Amino acid sequence: DTAVSQTPKYLVTQMGNDKSIKCEQNLGHDTMYWYKQDSKKFLKIMFSYNNKELIINETVPNRFSPKSPDKAHLNLHINSLELGDSAVYFCASSQMTSGSTDTQYFGPGTRLTVL
């Protein structure tokens, strides 16, 4: 269960603040992701990184800046937080097989509440 870990689990903050979420995987995967799950449970891809390189940036505001210091870590920094950023953010990782993602393993999620 600690294969993909995220910190913190809960984050409550005021509008306008800057916050970071950290993610680590110990599965040896080469690809990591950030997904956003909104209040209606819709899961949407935000970013995808392969071997520390940004592959997917799915029309996310530039207030969101992911950083991958190495293959095992993908952090998410959010500037100038807005009410609409309130959601659960999931990190995930996978290995690429035959040019496509294999099973994606999700972290426990970070519930962000912006007041």
Partner 1 sequence: GENVEQHPSTLSVQEGDSAVIKCTYSDSASNYFPWYKQELGKRPQLIIDIRSNVGEKKDQRIAVTLNKTAKHFSLHITETQPEDSAVYFCAASIESGYALNFGKGTSLLVTP
Binding site for partner 1 (CB under 8 A): 31, 33, 40-45, 48, 50, 55-56, 58, 90, 96, 99-109
Q: How far is the CB of 27 from partner 1 (least distance, A)?
A: 13
107/23 Cα distance (integer angstroms): 8
Looking at the Cβ atoms of 17 and 57, the one nearer to partner 1 is 57
Q: Which of 85, 97, 80 is nearest to 11 (CA)?
A: 85
Least separation in angstroms between CB 84 and partner 1: 18
Q: What are phi and psi of 83, to 5 degrees?
A: -55, -40
Question: What is the nearest approach in angstroms of partner 1 to the Cβ of residue 61?
Answer: 16
Query: What is the DSSP code string of 58-72?
Result: -S--TTEEEEEEETT
Nearest CB to partner 1, comparing residues 15 and 43 = 43
Distance (Å, whole) CA 54 – CA 95: 15
Nearer to partner 1, 72 or 105 (CB): 105
